[in-house]
């Protein structure tokens, strides 16, 4: 604005209409009544924790890599980072790949976000344990007795053990995990069935007739959704080039 007679400039504000769409995740576990009667331990007590683990794996696979995701859900974290060009392919210099200029963490920062966490494939643990400084000393291991503390530039690393992390697509995913938001519309609920007919979802053929085959089944259902807000910022106003996450891809990505 020039002097006392200058004219003030105008600007615009806009909001992206992002929504979290809750979708259903469900499974039915049938067991013959004779097996329950003859068992000397609580079978359902053993089944329920495994169902929780299986639900977690399916949710992680869908959000991380888009595996079996509902059509209404957004693109996966892997696809979002790939579309934005936030991918670093592994070389022999792992340290630079992760921490250097143009490395995985730098890719997150280029989009205007600070990486708060790194999720890695289990096989990355061995890669990191093998990193040595110029004197040949391990970077991550200070002694052979204590547990190895995995972190990069103060950013904690976690290694999911539920089988959801596809190491053929990514060795690690770094990002601002405050940008991964979710909402649980309905937590896991259980219902015991004893009269239902269970069909194959693909072929529509009858698999079990519970009443006729003296069986019972446990039905587990939950509803949830997730989203990546990815708000505009001063570093990267173009959403097509902006992602809060970056992928460390294997040299021969699957």
Compute the average pLDDT of residues 200-222.
95
pTM: predicted TM-score of the whole model, two decimal places: 0.87
Q: CA distances (Å), 24 to each of 111, 115, 220, 223, in order?
A: 32, 31, 10, 4
Task: Convert the pLDDT of each residue in 70-95 to its tens digit.
Answer: 999 999 999 999 999 999 999 999 98
Please give the pLDDT value at position 6. Answer: 75
The rounded distance, in Å, linking the Cα atoms of 253 and 232 is 30
Phi/psi for 130 (5° steps) reads -85, -5
What whole-number distance in Å separates Cα of residue 97 and Cα of residue 109?
14
pLDDT over 60 (residue 1)? no
Q: List, for residues 159-174, the tens digit of each pLDDT value.
A: 999 999 999 999 999 9
Check whether 26 has a pLDDT greater than 60. yes
Residue 7 has what pLDDT?
80
Q: Are 173 and 64 in contact (CB under 8 A)?
A: yes
Whole-angstrom Cα distance, residue 205 to residue 195? 17
Kindly report which listed range (31-45, 134-148, 238-252) carries the lowest average pLDDT score: 134-148
Q: Residue 184 and residue 198: Cα distance in Å, rounded?
A: 27
Could you state, in order of their start, the residue ranges of all structural domains in the chain? 23-231
**For position 150, what pLDDT does the model report?**
82
CA–CA distance, 100 with 166 (Å, rounded to integer): 24
pLDDT for 146 equals 67
């Amino acid at each position: 604005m020039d002097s006392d007679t200058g004219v003030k400039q105008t600007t615009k504000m806009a909001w992206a209409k992002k929504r979290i769409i809750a979708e259903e995740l469900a499974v039915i576990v049938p067991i013959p009544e004779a097996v329950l009667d003859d068992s000397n331990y609580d079978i359902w007590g053993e089944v329920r924790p495994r169902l929780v683990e299986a639900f977690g794996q399916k949710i992680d696979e869908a959000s991380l890599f888009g595996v079996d995701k509902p059509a209404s859900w957004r693109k996966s974290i892997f696809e979002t980072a790939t579309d934005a060009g936030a991918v670093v392919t592994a070389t022999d210099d792992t340290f630079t790949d992760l921490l250097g200029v143009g490395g995985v963490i730098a890719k997150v920062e280029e989009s205007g976000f600070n990486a708060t966490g790194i999720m890695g494939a289990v096989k990355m643990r061995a890669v990191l344990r093998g990193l040595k400084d110029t004197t040949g000393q391990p970077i991550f291991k200070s002694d052979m007795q204590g547990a190895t503390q995995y972190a990069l530039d103060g950013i904690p690393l976690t290694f999911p053990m539920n089988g959801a992390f596809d190491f053929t697509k990514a060795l690690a995913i770094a990002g601002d995990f405050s940008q991964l938001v979710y909402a649980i519309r309905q937590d896991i609920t259980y219902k015991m069935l004893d009269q239902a007919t269970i069909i194959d979802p693909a072929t529509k053929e009858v698999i079990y007739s519970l009443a006729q085959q003296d069986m019972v089944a446990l039905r587990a259902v939950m509803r949830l959704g997730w989203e990546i807000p990815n708000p505009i910022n001063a570093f990267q106003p173009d959403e097509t080039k902006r992602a809060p996450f970056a992928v460390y891809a294997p040299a021969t990505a699957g």
